[in-house]
Amino acid sequence: MPKERSIHEKHRHRLRERYRAAGLEGFADHEVLELLLGYTILQKDTNPIAHALLEKFGTLREVLEAEEEELTRVEGVGPHTAFFLRMLPDISRRYYEQSAEHRPRFLDSRQMMDYFIPRFLGRNDECIFAAFLDQTKLLLDCTLLYQGSLDAVEVHSELLMKEAVRQDCRYVVLAHNHFTGVAPSNQDVNITRLLRKKLLEKDIGLLDHIIVCGSEALSMQDSGYLNRGL
């Protein structure tokens, strides 16, 4: 084994042993990236690449959420590595979705926020989820209702009503993501009121609309936005 590769392998071995001993506790972001990069970049020092990624994107989260094309613009990051990094948030989201209770009962906004936050991990576009509940507020199903712009109110209304009727639900909880904070826009408020009105025509209650940004979330019901101006 060439001497340089041997040095890199020893360093990676030490990182792996640190992780085995205490998980990621005490790891800086660049060290987490080094650990990851070591599985796709075998014969280079990954420390400078990890630092370059953080310098370009800012945080570990932003690195993992970056587009593959953007990642490959960092020296030392090839298509294989970019694909590997970009896949990690999707794997994490699948893990959290499967770890969550399959059919929780939504009795308060904290339960709703904890349920929805993982569903937006790693997503780079705006998404709307709808959770359909029975009369006891037990989850019947959760559907990715729409991906893309939140402007098409008619589309959201048609899709939501069709699915709510199909589920034969009594309540609905909506959730969508922001990228610059959880405060709802005027458009968010107007769309929510419109959808609630249409649901009530079918005797279906809109319990809440959760807005998620990263690890933070806001309940429009608890914050007073759902009833403001009515």
**Co-location of 87 and 119 in the same domain:** no
Q: Is residue 85 part of a domain?
A: yes
Of 97, 124, 146, the one marking the end of a domain is 97
- How many other C-beta atoms are found inside a 10 Å radius of the C-beta of residue 25? 8
> How far from 3 is each of 9, 44, 47, 195, CA to CA, in Å?
10, 12, 17, 65
Residue 228 lies in a domain: no
- Identify the pLDDT of residue 5: 56
Q: Nearest 5 degrees, angle CA 89-CA 175-CA 168?
A: 115
Backbone angles phi, psi at 165, to 5 degrees: -65, -40
Same domain for 84 and 146, yes or no, is no
11 shares its domain with 84: yes
Q: What are the mean pLDDT values of the chain's consecutive 10-residue runs (230 residues total)?
A: 60 87 89 93 90 95 92 96 93 75 83 92 86 95 80 66 93 93 90 90 95 93 76
pTM beyond 0.85 = no
CA distance 139 to 133: 5
Residue 129, beta-bridge partner list: 144, 175
Please indicate, yes or no, whether residues 93 and 148 belong to a single structural domain of this protein: no
The confidence score (pLDDT) of residue 102 equals 66
Q: Residue 144 pairs with which residues in a beta bridge? A: 129
Strand partners, 172: 132, 206
Residue 194 lies in a domain: yes
Q: Given this model, what pLDDT does residue 66 score?
A: 92
Domain membership of residue 68 as a residue range:
3-97
Question: Within this chain, do residues 200 and 107 fall inside the same structural domain, yes or no?
Answer: yes
pLDDT at 42: 85
119 and 170 share one domain: yes
In a domain, 38, yes or no: yes
Please tell me the number of Cα atoms within 13 Å of 155 on its side-chain side.
9
Question: What is the DSSP secondary structure assignment for residue 184, as one 8-state letter?
Answer: P
